[in-house]
Amino acid sequence: MPVSLRCSFPPCSRPSRLSARLAAYAFGMAMLALPGTTLAEGVTLNVFGGSSLDVLAPRETPEVQTRIRKDIVAGFLKSHPDVAAVNWDAQGPQSGSLQRMMTAKLSGQPIDLVACSAFWVNGAYVRRGLLRPITEEVKPFIDNVDPASLGAFTVNGKLYGVPISSLSTSTIFYNEDLFKRLGIPTPPSYEDLKSAVPKLKEAGVIPLLHQGANSVMWPMWYFETFSQSSGDPVGLTQLQLEGKTPFNDPASVEAFRLIKQWVDDGILSKDSLSVDMEGMRAAFASGKSAMYYGGTWEVPSLKESVKTFSWNVFPFPKMPGTKGEPKHGGGADNGMCLSASIADDKVKPALDFIAYLTKPEVAKIYLEADRPIATSIKGVDGVNEAYAKALRETTFPATIKFLDWIWPSEVTTAVASGIAGVVGGTATPEEAAASVQTTFKALVDDGNWPPKD
């Protein structure tokens, strides 16, 4: 979903700090050469970020970010005398990232490294030729990185960035005390959930409520069901975007049907269509609903609002008769890439800087401050809490990139509309999938796809 609307990135989960970070715009470019360093004696690496979130420790205040960045850059310069300075320019809102990137390119601004979110890498930067693939170049240090996190920065089989952030994933949050009282198994199979519906309704509890009024959150359901109906959601999506397979192929129709099954079986409430994010959270916190589906960015809200019962997580379950295994949307939030315009003599020092950021002792400096659930760097552990352990054991290993990091925004909107129609009973799965295909075909016919530089 559009980054300005869905919080795919953990920084979005803290609006007050987001405001503080956006205020950092006034700081301008961070010039991070060590005091006394003579710039002429070594290369200067220029790191570019499309927004003020493209920094180390993006959840922290600008002051803390600056301190962490200076400490890390100072350590790198000390161990790499061939580099005189690292200039880090990251400004502005997330929504303006692409425009700022293109403006910098057209103006000839020197860019060696690009600090960016996986959303922009998949959605625009690679397609516009702004990044250089580094599949082979990172092999000497790639063992420092969790292999499951690399998918977020892999496009068409080529690696374009090294993740250096916390990880997000999608899961189902549930009232652990209620499940125990009613004897509902955990983690439940889909059939367990279906069988639990009468017990939950007898207890006066809505089984599962979704923030359906927030339309951009509906496609997350499709990410889950399409994974199971297709077996290879990312691969099939690439074929669809290349026009080799339509968006209303059997696997896509089945994905919509599987969402409808949650409604038909009484698990997902139709009332979700009129519930927004705050309503969903409030219903769960007050015990009026037993479950809701969302991303790990929900955790801060749960910790703050749930006071009368224990909550936990379980992965979106495998549905009966599907050929694919469950896969959950998410991945590494931010990474470091090489600019396509980097000069040849800067490639090695730039790769050295990326390698330095993947060292566990260095990564701890910029990752542990956020108290992450999981991270992209081996040796930097997440928080030691029950829900986090469960996610690391069951969900993160089966996490793949959000499909809306790949889709054009018009397709995302069409999928959201189609799901709302299927859930509300105003559209069949076939009609929903056909609508997505019609939307995509219009983009192609109008010359708006594939995207142009």
- Which CATH number belongs to the domain containing residue 223 in this structure? 3.40.190.10
Domain identity same for 129 and 59: yes
Domain identity same for 35 and 156: yes
**Cα angle value 421/413/101 (rounded, 5°):** 170
Question: Alpha carbon 116 to chain centroid distance?
Answer: 12
- The per-residue pLDDT for range 335-346, each reduced to its tens digit, is 999 999 999 999
Q: Is the predicted pLDDT of residue 38 greater than 70, yes or no? A: no
Among 6-10, 45-49, 299-303, 381-385, which is the least confidently predicted range?
6-10
Q: What is the pLDDT of residue 156?
A: 87
Domain identity same for 30 and 124: yes
Inside any domain, residue 233: yes
- The per-residue pLDDT for range 288-317, each reduced to its tens digit, is 999 999 999 999 999 999 999 999 999 999
- CA 139, CA 228: separation in Å to the nearest integer? 32
- Residue 94 pLDDT grade (very low, low, confident, very high; cuts 50, 70, 90): confident
Q: What is the pLDDT of residue 39?
A: 40
Report the helix count and the strand count for the chain, using DSSP H and E: 16, 17
Q: Shortest CA distance to 166 belongs to which of 393, 394, 366? A: 366
Q: What is the pLDDT of residue 24?
A: 42
Domain identity same for 286 and 145: no
Domain identity same for 293 and 337: no
Q: Shortest CA distance to 334 belongs to which of 170, 200, 152, 97? A: 152
Q: Are 111 and 342 in contact (CB under 8 A)?
A: yes
Q: What is the pLDDT of residue 450?
A: 86
Q: Are 138 and 159 in contact (CB under 8 A)?
A: yes
Q: What is the pLDDT of residue 452?
A: 66
Q: What is the pLDDT of residue 166?
A: 93
Q: Is the predicted pLDDT of residue 11 greater than 50, yes or no? A: no
Q: What is the pLDDT of residue 453?
A: 53
Domain identity same for 34 and 119: yes
Percent of the chain with pLDDT over 90: 84
Domain identity same for 140 and 42: yes
Among 26-30, 186-190, 293-297, 303-307, which is the least confidently predicted range?
26-30
Count of domains forming the chain: 2
When the pLDDT of each residue in the chain is averaged and rounded to a whole number, the result is 90
Query: Going by C-beta distance under 8 Å and a sequence separation of 6 or more, which residues neighbour residue 338?
Result: 112, 113, 114, 131, 132, 134, 137, 347, 350, 351
Domain identity same for 314 and 438: yes
Q: What is the pLDDT of residue 17?
A: 39
Inside any domain, residue 401: no
3-state helix vs strand vs coil in the chain, percent to 5: 50, 15, 35
Domain identity same for 174 and 55: no
Q: Are 248 and 403 in contact (CB under 8 A)?
A: no
AA identity, residue 146: D
Please give the model's pTM, rounded to 2 decimal places.
0.84
- The per-residue pLDDT for range 153-178, each reduced to its tens digit, is 999 899 999 999 999 999 999 999 99
Domain identity same for 18 and 144: yes
Inside any domain, residue 383: yes
Inside any domain, residue 452: no
Inside any domain, residue 2: no
Q: What is the pLDDT of residue 123?
A: 83
Instruction: Tokens 């040849």: give the residue.
Output: 344
Q: Is the predicted pLDDT of residue 220 greater than 60, yes or no? A: yes
Domain identity same for 357 and 322: no
Q: Is the predicted pLDDT of residue 3 greater than 60, yes or no? A: no
- Residue 95 pLDDT grade (very low, low, confident, very high; cuts 50, 70, 90): confident
Inside any domain, residue 237: yes
- The first and second tokens of residue 87, run together, are 């200039």
- The first and second tokens of residue 83, run together, are 């580099």
Range of the domain at 203: 170-329+408-445
Residue scoring higher pLDDT (389 or 7):
389
Residue 101: C-alpha distances to residues 48, 140, 262, 417 (Å): 8, 29, 42, 31
Inside any domain, residue 402: no
Q: Shortest CA distance to 229 belongs to which of 321, 151, 293, 314? A: 321
- CA 180, CA 3: separation in Å to the nearest integer? 37
Burial class (CB in 10 A: 0-12, 13-18, 19+), 198: exposed
Domain identity same for 282 and 429: yes
- The per-residue pLDDT for range 398-415, each reduced to its tens digit, is 999 999 999 998 999 999
Task: Name the CA dihedral angle for 275, 403, 159, 118, rounded to a multiple of 10 degrees.
Answer: -30
Q: Are 300 and 307 in contact (CB under 8 A)?
A: no
Query: Going by C-beta distance under 8 Å and a sequence separation of 6 or more, which residues neighbour residue 361?
Result: none
- The per-residue pLDDT for range 422-437, each reduced to its tens digit, is 999 999 999 999 999 9
Inside any domain, residue 3: no
